[in-house]
């Protein structure tokens, strides 16, 4: 692990460390850079949902607005942008496409010849070489965008190179269950193929890695720290920040910010310990003493059958906890690159606990499924994304907010164009948020159909956080319409 970044951490008994938010005392006189002259760090977050915008049998979609530019209309699936109050900070980028190629042929850059096997094309800008079926594992010759950003922005100040989270615990089906269906982060370190960065699916383990004391080389200090934690049960009791000499040096605004931050850390500890929050928001605890929600078993009916007691591990709670952890990690500069996968590609998640409809998520797209039911689950994804955007917007940093120094993208699996089934990679629409690099906020940006690939959105977001690349995998070029 890296050495502690001195502007972000305080130490307590036995070297126990806790991260702090960016404070006024750390900034220059204008609140626009660190006191030492370094710019306020930029952050990059990529999220994903395994959904398309239409069903096989029904349209139109309930996602892409009819109105262009600012103050666009909110279709049913985008309503959470309004309820979370972030529509003016989130842009909808529609018209994205990936070429489909007949099985057996070699796809062009960015192309694929099977609509369920998308990960390298979506996240790495990689063409997908398949034969006549999709029953083979996929590989990528390139790193994904989050790992490229992590390499570029990780200058030894943040503690984690990147964070890779996933709310859906497992496939929940045993047919065609490939690791790449649940992956969105790939890292190339040598001459061979890039390797999947295995996502963390345990909120408790993710929480422990962020706020649990870091190991000391001194065995006596480590033993004392472990003993104290076992007795007190909270890192905040060991790091008594409120009574330190530093607090006496801070101005009133900084003291309040530290106090609020530590209260949030305490809430996170309670949240993970109690295993969840209620749907009423504001970190309401539920009476469940388990560390993580219990993991549901595989659905014996596979993709499209429904089983009441399978295919669900309280992904709603997991997504909410991961959102809180990401907010903390970005605010405290624990990392500058992160991914959060809400649901698998071709997800067999049991959506009944979330939507009330007795189906798997994949089956929402097929048969005689209703697009209004599908919109319920798309809105669930949008709500988690919007909640993260709102939390970052509401966290002051410098002369603005943390959101002003972020680029966030929410991707999805399929578009709305007819002719290739519900999983068509034509007329996709992604959500983009954050003020880094002059990204346009709160607009519907309609691109010429067939001109831009998902990788072009990611290249634009990478540029916004200061990564001066023109290429992701085999795709080149940014989207000028997305920046002011």
| Residue found by looking up tokens 């697009």 in the block | 371
Query: Of the ranges 111-115, 174-178, 284-288, 370-374, which is most confident?
Result: 370-374
pLDDT tens digits, 44-80? 999 999 999 988 876 789 999 999 999 999 999 999 9
Concatenate the DSSP letters of all residues of 430-460 into one string. EEEE--GGGB--SEEEEPPTTT--HHHHHHH
422 plus 336 within the same structural domain: yes
* Residue 153 · residue 465 · CB < 8 Å: yes
- Sign of CA pseudo-dihedral 75, 80, 82, 88: negative
Establish if 433 belongs to a structural domain: yes
Q: Using CA atoms, how far apart are residues 28 and 445, in angstroms rounded to an integer?
A: 36
pLDDT of residue 418: 64
Cα separations in angstroms, 107 against 412, 472, 474, 475, 477 = 21, 17, 12, 13, 19
Establish if 154 belongs to a structural domain: yes
318 plus 409 within the same structural domain: yes
- Sign of CA pseudo-dihedral 273, 274, 280, 283: negative
261 plus 312 within the same structural domain: no
The total number of structural domains that make up the chain:
2
430 plus 445 within the same structural domain: yes
48 plus 29 within the same structural domain: no
Q: Using CA atoms, how far apart are residues 190 and 194, in angstroms rounded to an integer?
A: 8
Q: Using CA atoms, how far apart are residues 361 and 343, in angstroms rounded to an integer?
A: 9
* Residue 258 · residue 250 · CB < 8 Å: yes
Of residues 420 and 321, more confidence is placed in 321
Concatenate the DSSP letters of all residues of 248-316 into one string. HHS-HHHHHHHHHHHHHHHHHHHHHHHT-B-TT-TT-B-S---SSPPPPBPPTTTTT---TTBS-S-HH
3-class DSSP assignment, residue 400: strand
pLDDT tens digits, 99-110? 776 656 666 667
105 plus 245 within the same structural domain: no
> Is 80 exceeded by the pLDDT of residue 364?
yes
pLDDT of residue 386: 98
pLDDT of residue 28: 53
Contacts of range 197-202, beta carbons closer than 8 Å, 24 or more positions apart: 197/144, 197/147, 197/162, 197/164, 198/164, 199/164, 199/165, 199/166, 199/339, 199/341, 200/163, 200/164, 200/165, 200/166, 201/165, 201/166, 201/167, 201/168, 201/169, 201/170, 201/318, 202/292
Query: Of the ranges 13-17, 24-28, 188-192, 446-450, which is most confident?
Result: 446-450
Establish if 297 belongs to a structural domain: no
Report the interhelical angle of 145-153 vs 454-464 (nearest 10°).
10
Q: Using CA atoms, how far apart are residues 276 and 283, in angstroms rounded to an integer?
A: 8
245 plus 279 within the same structural domain: yes
65 plus 190 within the same structural domain: yes
3-class DSSP assignment, residue 92: strand
Query: Sorting pLDDT into bands at 50, 70 and 90, what band is 228?
Result: very low
Establish if 239 belongs to a structural domain: yes
* Residue 42 · residue 153 · CB < 8 Å: yes
* Domain with 427 in it: 42-202+303-482
Cis-peptide, bond into residue 44, ω within 30° of zero = no
284 plus 325 within the same structural domain: no
pLDDT of residue 24: 57
pLDDT of residue 210: 76
pLDDT tens digits, 37-52? 567 889 999 999 999 9
Domain boundary among 291, 313, 328: 291
Task: Check residue 225 and give left, alpha or beta (phi > 0: left; psi -120 to 50: alpha).
Answer: alpha
Establish if 198 belongs to a structural domain: yes
185 plus 51 within the same structural domain: yes
Rounded mean pLDDT, 247-267: 66
pLDDT of residue 302: 61
Establish if 196 belongs to a structural domain: yes
Establish if 192 belongs to a structural domain: yes
- DSSP code, position 198: P
101 plus 54 within the same structural domain: yes
Q: Using CA atoms, how far apart are residues 179 and 196, in angstroms rounded to an integer?
A: 8
Report the relative pairing of strands 69-70 and 443-446 from DSSP bridges. Answer: antiparallel
85 plus 63 within the same structural domain: yes
Establish if 88 belongs to a structural domain: yes
- DSSP code, position 409: E
Domain boundary among 240, 259, 291: 291
Domain boundary among 241, 271, 291: 291
pLDDT of residue 177: 65
Query: Sorting pLDDT into bands at 50, 70 and 90, what band is 334?
Result: confident
pLDDT above 90: percentage of residues in the chain: 40
> Mean pLDDT over all residues of the chain?
78
């Amino acid at each position: 692990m890296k050495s502690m970044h001195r502007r972000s951490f305080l130490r307590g008994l036995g070297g126990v460390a806790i991260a702090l938010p960016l404070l006024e005392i750390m900034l220059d006189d204008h609140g626009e850079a660190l006191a030492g002259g370094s710019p306020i760090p930029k952050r990059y977050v990529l999220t994903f949902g395994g959904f398309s915008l239409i069903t096989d049998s029904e349209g139109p979609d309930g996602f892409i607005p009819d109105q262009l530019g600012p103050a666009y209309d909110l279709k049913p699936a985008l309503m959470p942008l309004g309820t979370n109050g972030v529509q003016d900070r989130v842009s909808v980028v529609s018209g994205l496409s990936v070429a489909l190629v007949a099985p057996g042929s070699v796809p062009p850059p960015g192309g694929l010849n099977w609509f369920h096997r998308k990960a390298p094309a979506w996240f790495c800008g990689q063409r997908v070489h398949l034969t006549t079926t999709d029953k083979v594992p996929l590989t990528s010759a390139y790193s994904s965008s989050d790992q490229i950003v992590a390499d570029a922005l990780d200058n030894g100040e943040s503690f984690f190179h990147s964070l890779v989270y996933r709310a859906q615990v497992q496939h929940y089906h045993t047919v065609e269950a490939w690791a790449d269906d649940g992956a969105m982060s790939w890292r190339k370190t040598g001459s061979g193929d890039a390797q999947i960065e295995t996502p963390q699916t345990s909120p408790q383990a993710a929480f422990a890695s962020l706020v649990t004391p870091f190991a000391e080389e001194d065995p006596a200090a480590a033993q004392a720290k472990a003993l104290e934690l076992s007795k007190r049960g909270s890192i905040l009791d060991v790091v008594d920040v409120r009574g330190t000499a530093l607090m006496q040096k801070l101005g009133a605004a900084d003291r309040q910010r530290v106090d609020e931050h530590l209260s949030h850390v305490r809430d996170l500890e309670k949240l993970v310990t109690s295993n969840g929050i209620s749907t009423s928001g504001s970190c309401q605890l539920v009476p469940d003493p388990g560390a993580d929600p219990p993991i549901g078993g595989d659905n014996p009916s596979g993709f499209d059958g429904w089983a009441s007691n399978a295919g669900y591990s309280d992904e709603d709670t997991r997504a909410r906890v991961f959102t809180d952890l990401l907010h903390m990690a970005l605010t405290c500069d624990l990392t500058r690159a992160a991914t959060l996968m809400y649901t698998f590609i071709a997800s067999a998640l049991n959506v009944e606990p979330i939507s009330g409809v007795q189906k798997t998520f994949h089956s929402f797209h097929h048969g005689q499924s209703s697009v209004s039911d599908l919109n319920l689950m798309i809105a669930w994804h949008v709500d988690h994304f919007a909640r993260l955007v709102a939390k970052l917007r509401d966290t002051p940093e410098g002369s603005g907010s943390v959101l002003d120094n972020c680029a966030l993208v929410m991707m999805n699996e399929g578009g709305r164009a007819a002719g290739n089934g519900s999983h068509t990679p034509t007329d996709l629409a992604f959500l983009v948020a954050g003020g880094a690099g002059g990204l346009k906020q709160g607009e519907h940006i309609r691109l010429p159909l067939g001109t831009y690939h998902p990788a072009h959105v990611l290249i634009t977001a990478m540029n916004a956080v200061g990564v001066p690349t023109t290429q992701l995998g085999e795709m080149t070029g940014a989207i000028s319409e997305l920046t002011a």
